[in-house]
Structure 1
Amino acid sequence: MEAKQILNATDLTIHRPEPIIETIPVLEYFKEIDPKQAVNELLEGNHVLIADQFSSGLLVLNALKDRIYKNQNKQSFENQRNLRDAYRKASQLLLIEISNHRLQVKKAPEIGWLKKLYADTPDFLLPFTDVQGFNSSWQWFEKGIRIPGLKQTLHPFYGTYFPTRFEHIDLFVNYLKKYRGPKESAFDVGIGSGLLSKLLHQFDFKEVHASDINPNALIGTLESEKDSEQKTKLYFGDLFAGTKLKSDLIVFNPPWIPLPKEVSGIDLAIYYDTKLFPRFFEEAHKHLNPEGNVVLLFSNLAGLMDSNFIHPIELELKSKKRFSLVEKTIKKVAAASSKTKRKATWRDEEFVECWVLKLK
C-alpha cells in the first residue's frame, strides 16, 4: 500500500512537553526566599513553583547548577554525566503556572507556543526549563531567520532542527545553481525546518516530496505553506516513509555525529546510529530515477573527534555496489565564536561536504 500523504495537521499528534493539569503539592518560591531553600526541595524530589516573577526561576536554576556542578572538573566523565542527569531531573521539578495561555508571573515573556500547542488546555503547569526552550524557539519562529541563498525568511516551527551555520547550505545552493538534470520531482529526506524543500521549490522542481519522523516538522511545513502556491507533498515516517516514489533528485542532510548513547526528540537530528546510512543507501537506490542524483550534506566533524571514525559515505562508495561519485565539494566552516564550548582546534580544521552520487 502506498504511503498516505499528510494533508492536514490534525492527522498528526504534535510533540510538546506534557502539561501538568492535576493538583499537586508545591512550594511557592518568591525572590525574597533564599534560592538554596528551593534547591533543597528540588533535590529532595519536591516541586517548586515560581510565584512572583520570571527572573526568580533563573535564580533558582543558577543556584541548582552551583550546587550540582561544584568541583565538576575534578569528576570523572561518568560522574559528570551523572551530574548532568541529576540536574535535568531536579530542574524538571521547578514549575511555572500558565493560565489562559499566559505565564502567571511578572515580567514574563510573551510566548505564542503556549496557545498554538495547548489550544485545548488553557490552564496548566510546565517545568520552567521547558518554558525557557519555548521562549527561545518562539523568538526564532516569530522573527524568522535569513538564510544565504533562500529568498524567503525561514520560520522554524517548535521542536524542529534548523541550521545556525550555513556553509553546507551554501554548497547545496551552489549545486542547485549548476544542476542541469530533470526537475520533475525531488525528495527531501527528513524535512526538519523545511529549508532544503524551500530551496528545491525556489529552483523550480515541479514536485517536491518530503518525509520526517518528527510530526512537528510536517505540521510546521503545512503551516508555512498554507498561503503559498508551492506545496510540498508530505509523508510521516522514517527515510522514504514507505512511499514507492521515484525522484530525479534525493537530498539528505543527515546527522553528522555517530550515536554516543540513546537519544530521542530533536537530538535525532544530531546523532545517527550505525544502521542509518546502510538503510538510506539501500532505499535511495530504489527511489532514484536512472539519470538522477543523490545529494548528501555532511561534515568531517566526527573524524576530528575520533581518529577511528569510518566515513559512512566513503564506505558506501568503496563497496562499489550501488552508487558512484559525481562530485564532492567542501567548504571550511567559519571561525569559532569566542563563546563556543567546542574545542577551537576542531573548528580550525572543520569543513562541510556536499556529496553528489549517481546510480552505477
Structure 2
Amino acid sequence: MPGFPGCSWYSETGAPPPRRVVTADDTLPADGAHRLAKAGTSILWTGSFPGARRLLTALDRRLPERSADPAQAFRRHREARARRARILGKLLVRLEPGARLTASRAPDVRVACAEAGWSAERAFLCSLRDLLGLIGAHEWRRRGVLVPALGARIHPHHGVFSPVRGEYVDLVARAPLPTGVRSASDVGTGTGVLAAVLARRGVPSVLASDSSARAVACAEDNLARLGLSGRVTVTEADVFPARARAPLVVCNPPWLPGRAVSALDAAVCDPGSRMLRAFLDRLPRHLEPDGEAWLIMSDFAELAGLRTREELLGRIDRAGLKVVERHDTTPRHRRALDPADPLHALRAAEVTSLWRLRTSTMAG
C-alpha cells in the first residue's frame, strides 16, 4: 500500500486505499477531525482505542440526517448514508500481523477478523467503522438471534443478513403447505432460516441455495446447530441450482431495486431487480408441474417510488405465472415504531407479503 510498505488495505464497502493520511491521537478535537475527513484526508489513529470510538461517535453527531417529505425520504436517506459512510470511513486503525491491535485498551479482534475472512499474515489498515462492524458481527454470531417460529437461535455470520425482522419468517411458518409436499427449494437462503422453518414443518428434503459463499457457510453452520443437516442440503448457485426442480420453491429476494453499498446491503438491495427478475423468469423451469412458489416481498420499494405494484404483477404475468393467494403482515421491528426514524412514515406503512404463485396452466 502506498506510504505503508508491507501493509495491506481492507474495506468491506470496496473503498479504495486512502491517498492522504495523517496520524492523530487523543489530542485531536472532533471539529478538526471533521474538517480533515470532509476534505478527503484519512486519519490513522495512534491513540487509545476508547478515544478512537469517542471520536467516531463525535463525528457521527456532526452528520445529522436531513428531514424530508415521504416522497423524497428514501432517496435523501440513502444520500445521507453514503455521505456518512464516506466521512466516517476516514478514521483508520492499523492492525499488526496476527490481526493484533496495539492501541491501549484495545479489544482482541483476532476471531472477528478470521470470521470475516480478513487475512492476518501481514499488517493492514482498515476503517474503524469497518472494524467495529466486524466486532458487532462476531457478537451477533456468538449470541445468535432468537427465532420464535423455530424456538431456537439463528447465528448470522459476518456479511449475512440477520433474521431480526421476524414477520417474513412467520409468514413462511404459517402459510399452508401444499398437500403431500415431499421436497422444497429455498432460493437465496442467507442464514438458512427459511430452509430450517420448512424442515421443522415436516418437509422431508429441502435444497437451500445462495450465490454468496459466506451465506452458504452460515446456512450450513445454522442447520448443523439445529440438527437439520440430514434434511437440508446447502449449495452455492446463482439463483437456482442447475436442473433443480421442486413442488415448493420459496424465495425472499432483496426488496429494494438499488445499489448495495456494503455486504449487508446486498441482502436488501438488488440493482435493477436482477435477482427478482431472474427468479420469476426461471421459476417455471424449476417448479414441478403441479407445484407452487412462495415469493416473500415487502412493498417498501413501492412506497418509496422505486417500483410500482403494476411492475411486479407484470413481471409475474410475463413469466407465465399467476397469483393464487397472498398473505400479508405488518412490521414489528423497532424502527417502524420510532417516530424519530427518518423513514418512519414509510416503515409504518410497509406491508410484507407472501405471494403464492403457480404456473398459468395450473393457476385455475
TM-score, length of structure 1 as denominator length: 0.79
The answer to whether the aligner puts 1:235 opposite 2:230 as a matched pair is no
Matching residue of 1:36: 31
Query: Equivalents in 2 of 1:193, 1:73: separation in Å?
Result: 34
Query: Equivalents in 2 of 1:19, 1:51: separation in Å?
Result: 24
Matching residue of 2:248: 249
How far is the alpha carbon of 1:269 from its aligned partner?
2.0
Spell out, residue by residue over 1:265-298, the C-alpha distance to the aligned partner (whole angstroms, 9 max, x if none): 3323213324543322221100011222100111
Matching residue of 2:88: 91
Change beyond 3 A, Cα 1:230–1:357: same
How far is the alpha carbon of 1:113 from its aligned partner?
1.6
Query: Equivalents in 2 of 1:317, 1:86: separation in Å?
Result: 36
Q: Contact between 1:201 and 1:230, CA under 8 Å: does it hold in 2?
A: no
Flag structure 2 segments of 5+ consecutive residues without an equivalent.
1-9
Q: Contact between 1:181 and 1:292, CA under 8 Å: does it hold in 2?
A: no
Spell out, residue by residue over 1:83-123, the C-alpha distance to the aligned partner (whole angstroms, 9 max, x if none): 75554334333212324334333344444322332355364
The answer to whether the aligner puts 1:133 opposite 2:133 as a matched pair is yes
Matching residue of 2:170: 170
TM-score, length of structure 2 as denominator length: 0.78
Matching residue of 1:210: 208
Write the letter of the residue equivalent to 1:300.
Answer: D
Q: Contact between 2:186 and 2:209, CA under 8 Å: does it hold in 1?
A: yes
Query: Equivalents in 2 of 1:18, 1:79: separation in Å?
Result: 20
Spell out, residue by residue over 1:168-215, the C-alpha distance to the aligned partner (whole angstroms, 9 max, x if none): 21111001xx32434432111111121111112222333222222222
Number of aligned residue pairs: 338
Q: Contact between 1:96 and 1:104, CA under 8 Å: does it hold in 2?
A: no
Query: Equivalents in 1 of 2:315, 2:12: separation in Å?
Result: 38
The residue correspondences of 1:9-24 to structure 2 (distance < 5 A) are 17=12
Q: Contact between 2:239 and 2:275, CA under 8 Å: does it hold in 1?
A: no
Matching residue of 1:356: 356
The residue correspondences of 1:238-317 to structure 2 (distance < 5 A) are 238-241=238-241, 243-259=242-258, 261=259, 265-272=263-270, 273-306=272-305, 309-317=308-316
Matching residue of 1:3: none
Change beyond 3 A, Cα 1:348–1:264: closer
Query: Equivalents in 2 of 1:212, 1:308: separation in Å?
Result: 24
SS of structure 2 residue aligned to 1:357: strand
Counterpart pick for 2:53 among 48, 54, 58: 58
Spell out, residue by residue over 1:38-67, the C-alpha distance to the aligned partner (whole angstroms, 9 max, x if none): 344444444422223223223333454466
Q: Contact between 1:39 and 1:60, CA under 8 Å: does it hold in 2?
A: no
Which of 35-44 and 347-356 deviates more? 35-44
SS of structure 2 residue aligned to 1:233: strand
Q: Contact between 2:65 and 2:77, CA under 8 Å: does it hold in 1?
A: no
Change beyond 3 A, Cα 1:204–1:213: same
Matching residue of 1:4: none
Spell out, residue by residue over 1:239-271, the C-alpha distance to the aligned partner (whole angstroms, 9 max, x if none): 114x11111211011122332x57563323213
Change beyond 3 A, Cα 1:16–1:197: farther
How far is the alpha carbon of 1:356 from its aligned partner?
1.2
Write the letter of the residue equivalent to 1:97.
Answer: R
SS of structure 2 residue aligned to 1:146: strand
Query: Equivalents in 2 of 1:47, 1:300: separation in Å?
Result: 39
Matching residue of 2:6: none
Change beyond 3 A, Cα 1:119–1:305: closer
Change beyond 3 A, Cα 1:83–1:145: closer
Query: Equivalents in 2 of 1:291, 1:322: separation in Å?
Result: 14
Flag structure 1 segments of 5+ consecutive residues without an equivalent.
1-14
Two-structure CA RMSD over aligned residues (Å) = 3.6
Q: Contact between 1:210 and 1:233, CA under 8 Å: does it hold in 2?
A: yes
Q: Contact between 2:330 and 2:351, CA under 8 Å: does it hold in 1?
A: yes
The answer to whether the aligner puts 1:152 opposite 2:147 as a matched pair is no
Write the letter of the residue equivalent to 1:35.
Answer: A
Q: Contact between 2:43 and 2:91, CA under 8 Å: does it hold in 1?
A: yes
Write the letter of the residue equivalent to 1:284.
Answer: L
Q: Contact between 1:160 and 1:266, CA under 8 Å: does it hold in 2?
A: yes
Query: Equivalents in 1 of 2:151, 2:78: separation in Å?
Result: 42
Query: Equivalents in 2 of 1:19, 1:172: separation in Å?
Result: 34
Q: Contact between 2:21 and 2:41, CA under 8 Å: does it hold in 1?
A: yes
Write the letter of the residue equivalent to 1:212.
Answer: D
